[in-house]
Amino acid sequence: MAMRGGGATMLSWYLQVAAVSLLAMATGLEAQLRVGFYDNSCPAAEIIVQQEVSKAVSANPGLAAGLVRLHFHDCFVRGCDASVLIDSTKVNQAEKDAGPNTSLRGFEVVDRIKARVEQACFGVVSCADILAFAARDSVALTGGNAYQVPAGRRDGSVSRSSDTGGNLPPPTASVSQLTQMFAAKGLSQREMVALSGAHTIGASHCSSFSSRLYRAGTTAGGGQDPTMDPAYVAQLAQQCPQSGGAAGGGALVPMDAVTPNAFDEGFFKGVMNNRGLLSSDQALLGDKNTAVQVVAYANDASTFQSDFAAAMVKMGAVGVLTGSSGKVRANCRVA
């Protein structure tokens, strides 16, 4: 009888452990990102995002690249927690005011989306998920794959400009530096090259690449970056004149000169032809491993599109806050 009692006690213990384990598994699953996260709690969420992004991009095609870049710069600093949207205060300089982020745009689009979403479902949809949805819709509206976005991110409460240091790749980064920075976020070199393809839309300030056009004591055509097509150098020198101060400084030049507003393989074709605008872009052709991928994407648009979509989903899960972590900020600009 003692054994039976012990067996019954042991069985009861096993059942309790099993129940706790199942509960933990369920809680863990709920805490993870998933497609259709707002299907019940806010079914209009993704529709609202798509509508507002569509209006914004129709009025200003450059905002598509801006919204993709916002998502990227958010995820690479403190994870995808919408910390890049928080405004600075008298006692804190936020991420958006750090040097690498001062050219970010699209904040007003996010504000409009958030205002509508809050009216539809108060306190439900995070700013971090809005950024992920908006990036996806920007890609789709410009001709890329409309991939599904797993959601369930929560918003962070900390945003410091100092945190951007060493996390955001500079326009002069080498392939080795890029590979290391992406690896630090759990992204492979292959995913780094695919994500670099986002440069197929949008533009860059002259100041980000003027050092490739002019060297001290030279004029355009003398002393420029030898990896750049000379005809392209001459073209860029007209767009970014040295007499304009810091080689045209604030002027904007399309990253893909052929199809600047189309999400296609044009970026990789440009790099193949030594017409990568940033030195970090052109560097992809100078490394034997990444060069193979550049050529493959330039000749196979569908592979690039599918690889890019998969890499965006993976990047969108970097350092996320889920479940009981973080919160849903009512105003994306305020922590």
* 129-167 per-position pLDDT tens digit: 999 999 999 999 999 999 999 999 999 999 999 999 999
Q: Which residues pair with 34 in a beta bridge?
A: 151
Residue 214 — very low, low, confident or very high, per pLDDT cuts 50/70/90? confident
Round to whole Å and give the CA distance between 104 and 96.
8
| 45 neighbors 120 (Cβ within 8 angstroms) | yes
Residue 251 — very low, low, confident or very high, per pLDDT cuts 50/70/90? confident
How many CB atoms neighbour CB 23 within 10 A? 10
pLDDT above 70 covers what percent of the chain?
Answer: 86
Query: Is 77 annotated in some ligand binding site?
Result: yes
Does the pLDDT value for residue 216 go beyond 80?
A: no
Q: Cα 267 from chain centroid?
A: 17
Q: Which residues pair with 92 in a beta bridge?
A: 89
Q: Give the right CATH number for 44-164 from 1.10.520.10, 3.30.450.40, 3.20.20.70, 1.10.8.60.
A: 1.10.520.10
Does the pLDDT value for residue 9 go beyond 60?
A: no
Does the pLDDT value for residue 1 go beyond 60?
A: no
| 200 neighbors 266 (Cβ within 8 angstroms) | yes
Tokens 């305020």 found at:
334
Round to whole Å and give the CA distance between 163 and 96.
11
Q: Which of 92-96, 162-166, 225-229, 283-287 has the lowest mean pLDDT?
A: 225-229
Does the pLDDT value for residue 3 go beyond 50?
A: no
Q: Taking Cα atoms as reference points, which of 94, 93, 92 lies closest to residue 83?
A: 94
Tokens 């533009």 found at:
203
Query: Is 36 annotated in some ligand binding site?
Result: no
pLDDT in the model for residue 16: 45
* Mean pLDDT within 246-264: 84
171, 173, 174, 175: CA torsion to nearest 10: -80
Residue 115 — very low, low, confident or very high, per pLDDT cuts 50/70/90? very high
Q: Token pair of 253, please?
A: 């030049």
Query: Is 91 annotated in some ligand binding site?
Result: no
Q: Token pair of 84, please?
A: 């890049």
- At a CB cut-off of 8 Å and minimum separation 6, what does 114 contact? 125, 127, 130, 331, 332
Round to whole Å and give the CA distance between 91 and 99.
18
Query: Is 226 annotated in some ligand binding site?
Result: no
Indicate the SS3 state at residue 204. Answer: strand
Alpha helices in 60-174 (DSSP H): 62-75, 107-120, 127-141
How many CB atoms neighbour CB 186 within 10 A? 12
Query: Is 74 annotated in some ligand binding site?
Result: yes
Q: What is the largest CA-CA distance in the chain?
A: 98
Q: What is the mean pLDDT of the chain?
A: 89
Query: Is 88 annotated in some ligand binding site?
Result: no
CATH, domain range 175-314: 1.10.420.10
Round to whole Å and give the CA distance between 122 and 143.
32
Indicate the SS3 state at residue 225. Answer: coil
Indicate which residues carry an active-site annotation.
73
Q: Taking Cα atoms as reference points, which of 169, 177, 173, 252 lies closest to residue 210?
A: 252
| 265 neighbors 298 (Cβ within 8 angstroms) | yes
More confident residue, 50 or 234: 50
Query: Is 202 annotated in some ligand binding site?
Result: no
pLDDT in the model for residue 225: 86
Query: Is 137 annotated in some ligand binding site?
Result: no
How many CB atoms neighbour CB 97 within 10 A? 15
* Mean pLDDT within 254-272: 97
Domain borders along the chain are 44-164, 175-314
pLDDT in the model for residue 244: 54
Please report, in angstroms and rounded to a whole number, the separation of the first and last CA atoms in the chain: 62
Round to whole Å and give the CA distance between 149 and 114.
18
Query: Is 71 annotated in some ligand binding site?
Result: no
pLDDT in the model for residue 211: 87
Surface-to-core class of residue 1, CB atoms within 10 Å of its CB (0-12 exposed, 13-18 middle, 19+ buried): exposed
Q: What are phi and psi of 180, to 5 degrees?
A: -65, -40
